[in-house]
């Protein structure tokens, strides 16, 4: 899909598109100033992660159907959304990840309680329909049992009741770049990863759906068919249908462009870059090494068109 997106942007096509900010890093938490400068100037670039080509993106409010943020800490951008909207970018939604996994797995992420308070303020600002809570990924070890996971999920559902209506989840994927970090965790904490069998996953998904129901929260599985059924619905993280429901005149064409197997997302232009997120979560597929993250974070300049100069 990314090669098709690169070609489309190069041709200067004028169709309306979704901006993803970003699946590759946490722009609201660490790059809010850069993002607002890009909106003010009406242009940005990103480095294609495979071809390494620099792709120019025209950020015209008339062409951006919606901005979809992905974050674990929206606080740095929350005080500046009025500025974003004054620039004409009033169509935006937020994926907000709150797992409660703690510093062992999410070393530099705000505490779950702090994140809940920020999400609640955000929900009061834009409404629950424009918020996606991500209890994602599901991680299982000798310590992180199914029972402990469900208890953590129930506590968060209680805290988020009335502030979100959807929860997106998936099982932690065994990405190659994650293996080393997981091995270090296992040694440091004398804990072992474990995979759930089919029956365990079915019980888990059914329990999650049942826990979410009294809180008015439906559970959606992202690229995780093993979790579907038992009250759990398929996820559409970049949802053209929702964008068109919220903003019928935005001009978006409801065509799918999935980025991986089992993905039902609409295509989007992602302005982020890999190896730039200082949260440094152990399970993250977007980071390879702490050294690379530090180098890129400290070389970043808000005035640059691209988040980083190269991938």
According to the model, what pLDDT value does residue 261 have? 61
pTM score: 0.92
According to the model, what pLDDT value does residue 183 have? 95
According to the model, what pLDDT value does residue 13 have? 53
**pLDDT 10s digit of each residue in the chain, 311 long?**
445 555 554 544 578 999 999 999 999 999 999 999 999 999 999 998 888 899 999 999 999 999 999 999 999 999 999 999 999 999 999 999 999 999 999 999 999 999 999 999 999 999 999 999 999 999 999 999 999 999 999 999 999 999 999 999 999 988 888 999 999 999 999 999 999 988 899 899 999 999 999 999 999 998 788 899 889 999 999 999 999 999 999 999 876 555 556 677 888 999 999 999 999 999 999 999 899 999 999 999 999 999 987 65
Exposed e or buried b per residue across 152-165, where buried means at least 16 C-beta atoms within 10 angstroms of its C-beta: bbbebbebbeebbb
According to the model, what pLDDT value does residue 11 have? 46
According to the model, what pLDDT value does residue 311 have? 58
According to the model, what pLDDT value does residue 197 have? 85
According to the model, what pLDDT value does residue 1 have? 44
Locate 311 and state its tokens: 């991938």
Q: In whole angstroms, how far apart are CA 80 and each of 85, 124, 154, 190?
A: 9, 15, 32, 43
Which DSSP string do the residues of 175-240 spell out, in sequence order? -HHHHHHHHHHHHHHT--B-PPPHHHHHHHHHHHHHHHGGGT-EEEESS-GGG-BTTBEE--SS-H
According to the model, what pLDDT value does residue 310 have? 64
């Amino acid at each position: 899909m990314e090669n098709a997106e690169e070609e489309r942007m190069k041709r200067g096509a004028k169709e309306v598109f979704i901006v993803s900010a970003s699946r590759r890093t946490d722009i609201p938490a660490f790059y809010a100033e850069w993002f607002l400068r890009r909106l003010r100037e009406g242009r940005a670039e990103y480095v294609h992660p495979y071809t390494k080509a620099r792709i120019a993106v025209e950020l015209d409010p008339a062409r951006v159907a919606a901005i979809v943020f992905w974050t674990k800490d929206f606080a740095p951008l929350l005080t500046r959304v009025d500025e974003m909207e004054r620039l004409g970018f009033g169509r935006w939604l937020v994926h907000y990840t709150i797992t409660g996994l703690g510093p062992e797995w999410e070393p530099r992420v705000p505490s779950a309680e702090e994140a809940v308070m920020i999400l609640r303020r955000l929900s009061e600002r834009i409404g629950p329909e424009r918020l996606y809570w991500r209890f994602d990924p599901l991680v299982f070890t000798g310590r992180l049992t199914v029972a402990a996971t469900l208890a953590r999920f129930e506590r968060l559902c209680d805290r988020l009741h009335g502030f979100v209506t959807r929860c997106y989840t998936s099982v932690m994927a065994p990405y190659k770049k994650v293996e080393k970090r997981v091995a270090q965790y296992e040694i440091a904490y004398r804990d072992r990863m474990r995979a759930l069998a089919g029956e365990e996953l079915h019980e888990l998904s059914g329990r999650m759906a049942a826990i979410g129901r009294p809180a008015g929260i439906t559970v959606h599985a992202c690229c995780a068919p093993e979790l579907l059924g038992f009250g759990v619905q398929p996820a559409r993280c970049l949802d053209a249908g929702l964008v068109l429901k919220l903003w019928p005149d935005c001009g978006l064409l409801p065509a799918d462009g999935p980025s991986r197997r089992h993905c039902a997302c609409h295509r989007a232009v992602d302005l982020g870059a890999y190896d730039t997120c200082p949260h440094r979560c152990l399970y993250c597929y977007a980071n390879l090494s702490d050294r690379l993250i530090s180098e890129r974070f400290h070389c970043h300049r808000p005035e640059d068109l691209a988040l980083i100069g190269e991938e």
